[in-house]
Amino acid sequence: MAPASIFDQILDYTNRANPYPLYAELRRTPVSRADDGSYVVSTYAEIVALLHDPRVSSDLRNRADYAEAGDEEGASGLPPRFIALDPPEHDRVRRLLTRHFGPPHDPDRIVGMRPDLVEIVSGLIDDFAGRNRIDLVDDFAYPFPVTVICRLLGVPREDEPRFHVWADAVIEAIDPTTGDFATRTRRREQAFAELGRYLGELADTRRDQPGDDMLSELVTDDGPEGRLSREELMTNAALLLIAGHETTVNLITNGMLTLLRHPDVLQRLRRQPDLAIRVVEELLRYEPPVQFLSNRVALADIDIAGTTIPRGAPITLVLAAGSRDPDHVPNPDRFDPDRQYNEHLGFGGGIHYCFGAPLARPEAQIALTELARRLENPRLVVDPPPYRPNPSLRGPRHLPVTFDNIAPAPAARGRDHRTVERQLHHA
C-alpha cells in the first residue's frame, strides 16, 4: 500500500494536536496533488495569488465532479450562501448584509456592542466563583460567542439547544474526513434547510415587530438595492449564525492554550491589556481557527509554481501553512506577539475576506484579557488537550484549566465596567 500523502496525514486525527511539522513538509512542494485529485497549495505567495485570482471560484457547482454528486446543493431548496458564490451575486449579497453590520451605513453596530462583550465575559467568569477547575470550552469559549451572535442577529439565546444540533451537522458535513463530496453536501444542505426555516420564521415575526437587531433591519431594509429575498435571508442568516461562533470558540480556546504554554506573555497581558491586540493577531497567524479552505475550484487551467491546476479541479488553500511560511515571516514557529510584520491568512483574503473579522477581533481581545486578568495562577490540566475531529476548523474539544481564585470583575474593584473596552478601543 502506498504511504499516505502529506495532506492525508494532516487529515489523520492522530496529527490533530500538532500538524505544523507536516505543514512544513507540505510547503516543500508549494502546489501538490492530494489522493482525492484536489490540488493543495501551502506557500504564502501562492495562496495569496489564488485568493485574488478571478479564475478561482468559490461556487462548488463549477467542480468537474459536481454533476456526479447529483444536485445535492439544491437539496435545501435554498440559494447558496454568499461564501459559496462568485461576483456579481456574492458582492450584492455581501453589500446588503454589510449595510447592517458595519461602515459606511452602520458604523456603530459593532463598536456599540463592546460594552455588551465585556458584560457577557465578566458574567461568565463570575460564574467560576467557588470552583478551582473549569472546562474553558464548555464554560466560556462556546457560550460567549453564541450569546454575542444571538444578540447581534436577534435570535433568542434560549433557542441554542435547537440550532446547536443543526450547526453541529453543518460543521461535521464540511469536515473532509466524514464521507464523500456528495454525501457531505447533502447532509450540509439538510442542516442548512432546517436552520434556515427556523430563522425565516423568526424574521417574519420581526417584519411586523422590528427590534434593533440585524434580522429586523434586514427584513425592513429600504436601501438602494432593495432587500434580500426571503430565501437569501434564510440561508445567509444561517451562515452568519454558524460562522459567528464556531470559529471564535477555537480562537479563544487556542489562544488560552497558547498563553498557558507561554506564561511570560500571559503575565504581560495581565498587566498590559492593550497587548491583547498583538496577541490576537499573532494567534490568528500561529494557531488559526481555520486551518485550510477546501471550497475552491479552478475555472480555467491555472499555471502556478510549476504546476498546472486543470479546469474543474478542486483546490485546497492551506492558510495555516501559508501563515508559517519562512519565506514570508522570520521564525514562523515562534509565538511572538511583538513581531513587527504580521500579515497573516487567519481571516483568508480577497473578496471572501472574513465578514465577521471586526467582531471576532474584539471578542477574542476582551475574552483573553479578562481571563488573564481574573484567573489567578491558571494551569493546564492536560497538554495537549483532546481535540475536535475537524482538521480544518481545528481546536480543542475540552480545555480543562485549574486556578487558585477568581479576581473581582472590573466594576467590583471600583472601576467603570467599560475600562477594558476603552483601553482596547483606543490602543
Would you tell me how many other CB atoms lie within 10 Å of the CB of residue 423? Answer: 15
Q: Is 360 in the site for ligand HEM (CB under 6 A)?
A: yes
State which residue has the least CB distance to ligand HEM. Answer: 356
Q: Is 82 in the site for ligand HEM (CB under 6 A)?
A: yes
* Contact pick of 273, 337, 348, 385 for ligand HEM (by CB under 6 A): 348
Query: Of 312, 317, 319, 318, which is closest to residue 297 (Cα–Cα)?
Result: 312
* Contact pick of 290, 297, 320, 401 for ligand HEM (by CB under 6 A): 290
Q: Is 395 in the site for ligand HEM (CB under 6 A)?
A: no
Helix, strand, or coil here: 225?
coil
Q: Is 289 in the site for ligand HEM (CB under 6 A)?
A: yes
Quote the least distance from Cβ 83 to ligand HEM, whole Å: 4
Rounded distance between C-alpha atoms, residue 16 and residue 9, angstroms: 10
Q: Is 347 in the site for ligand HEM (CB under 6 A)?
A: yes
Q: Is 378 in the site for ligand HEM (CB under 6 A)?
A: no
227-266 mask for ligand HEM (x: CB under 6 A)? ------------xx--xx--xx--x---------------
If the CB atoms of residues 216 and 295 are measured against ligand HEM, the closer one turns out to be 295
Q: Is 99 in the site for ligand HEM (CB under 6 A)?
A: no
Q: For strands 314-317 and 39-41, give the pairing.
A: parallel
* Contact pick of 137, 219, 354, 371 for ligand HEM (by CB under 6 A): 354
Rounded distance between C-alpha atoms, residue 303 and residue 313, angstroms: 13
Q: Is 170 in the site for ligand HEM (CB under 6 A)?
A: no
* Contact pick of 16, 184, 285, 352 for ligand HEM (by CB under 6 A): 352
In one-letter notation, the amino acid at residue 8 is: D
If the CB atoms of residues 206 and 352 are measured against ligand HEM, the closer one turns out to be 352
* Contact pick of 295, 316, 369, 390 for ligand HEM (by CB under 6 A): 295
If the CB atoms of residues 56 and 260 are measured against ligand HEM, the closer one turns out to be 56
* Contact pick of 32, 38, 57, 58 for ligand HEM (by CB under 6 A): 58
Rounded distance between C-alpha atoms, residue 402 and residue 424, angstroms: 27
Asked if 50 contacts 62 with a C-beta cutoff of 8 angstroms, the reply is: no
Q: In what order do the strands lie in the sheet with 400-402?
A: 133-135, 400-402, 379-380
Query: Cβ neighbours of residue 389 under 8 Å, at least 6 residues apart?
Result: 13, 16, 175, 177, 178
Query: Cβ neighbours of residue 315 under 8 Å, at least 6 residues apart?
Result: 38, 39, 40, 41, 50, 56, 296, 297, 298, 309
SS (H, E, C) 277-309: HHHHHHHHHHCCCECCEEEEEECCCEEECCEEE
If the CB atoms of residues 69 and 283 are measured against ligand HEM, the closer one turns out to be 283
Q: Is 270 in the site for ligand HEM (CB under 6 A)?
A: no
By CB under 6 A, how many residues form the interface with ligand HEM?
24
Quote the least distance from Cβ 243 to ligand HEM, whole Å: 3
Virtual torsion, Cα 44, 49, 51, 57, nearest 10 deg:
-140
Q: Please name the residue that has the C-alpha cell 442542516.
A: 191
Q: Is 154 in the site for ligand HEM (CB under 6 A)?
A: no
How buried is 92 (Cβ within 10 angstroms: 0-12 exposed, 13-18 middle, 19+ buried)? middle
Residues at the contact surface with ligand HEM, assessed by CB under 6 A: 58, 82-83, 94, 239-240, 243-244, 247-248, 251, 289-290, 293, 295, 346-348, 352, 354-356, 359-360
